[in-house]
Amino acid sequence: MWSRRVWAHYWTGCVVIFGLLALSSCGGAGTVVDDHYYRLITEPNIPVAKSPSLDGLLVVQQFTADGPHSGRAIVYSRVDEPMELHSYRYHFWTEPPARLIQQQLVRSLRQAKVAQASHQQDPALREDYTLVGHLQRFEIVRSPTEPSAVVVMEVSLLKRGQSRPLMAQTYTAEVEIEGGSVSSGVVALTRALVQVQRALIKDIKGLSGP
């Protein structure tokens, strides 16, 4: 008969052996990969208009987006396969890009004072002008030599009571990525969005007597 101490040592040895077998069956100690989440913060430093170009309340609707661009995962393509889109497995925006872009546009429009007031879409508001858009591309383009970040969006400015838009334009910006990390691509996407914001606000300021 084994003593209680012998049994204790026996079971302890079994636990250690089973643990080692489990690790070896998984190919060794697995590496835990953390998810990464990215904010979208732009600082366009747009000059303030002397007087608003839009004489009323401007509401920015949430942009629409299709396919991978409608989710939170950061999207990329390869320069040699432009038709195919991919999503990074562990890298996400804090919210879908269409929502983040809406928030950034409202801040920029307020800063530039292109309207008497600028807000996100709200059922309680009776808007005089509405900014609507569709996000076509918001992606990192991977390349062995010249990786870049690309932003393409269609934007229309509507006035209440009018059937035709005051302005309808497609804005495109491409910025070189400095570095090989996903975070470097996020920085480049932010810079590309700033270029689009500046061009959009310049066009709104150029409207005369809408």
Are both 14 and 48 inside the same structural domain? no
pLDDT at 32: 73
Are both 46 and 19 inside the same structural domain? no
Are both 17 and 70 inside the same structural domain? no
Q: Among 178, 151, 177, 154, which Cα is nearest to 167's?
A: 154
pLDDT at 153: 97
d(CA 143, CA 188): 14
pLDDT at 49: 67
Are both 117 and 142 inside the same structural domain? yes
Are both 55 and 76 inside the same structural domain? yes
Q: What is the CATH number of the domain that holds 112?
A: 3.40.50.10610
d(CA 75, CA 51): 39
Are both 150 and 183 inside the same structural domain? yes
pLDDT at 178: 93
pLDDT at 208: 60
- Residue 146 belongs to some domain of the structure: yes
- Residue 210 belongs to some domain of the structure: no
Are both 28 and 75 inside the same structural domain? no
Report mean pLDDT in 10-residue bins for the chain, 210 residues.
Answer: 50 44 44 87 73 90 94 96 95 96 92 88 85 97 95 97 94 95 96 94 78
pTM, full prediction: 0.81
pLDDT at 180: 87
Q: Collapse the DSSP code of 114 into the 3-class scheme (helix H, G, I; strand E, B; otherwise coil) and give the result.
A: coil
Q: Collapse the DSSP code of 111 into the 3-class scheme (helix H, G, I; strand E, B; otherwise coil) and give the result.
A: helix
Q: Among 168, 166, 176, which Cα is nearest to 209's?
A: 166
Are both 67 and 170 inside the same structural domain? yes
Count of domains observed in the chain? 2
Are both 133 and 197 inside the same structural domain? yes
Q: Three-state secondary structure along 118-147?
A: EEECCCCCCCCEEEEEEEEEEEEEECCCCC
Domain range for 8:
1-32
Count of CB atoms within 10 A of residue 51's CB?
A: 8
Strands 129-142 and 54-60 come out as parallel
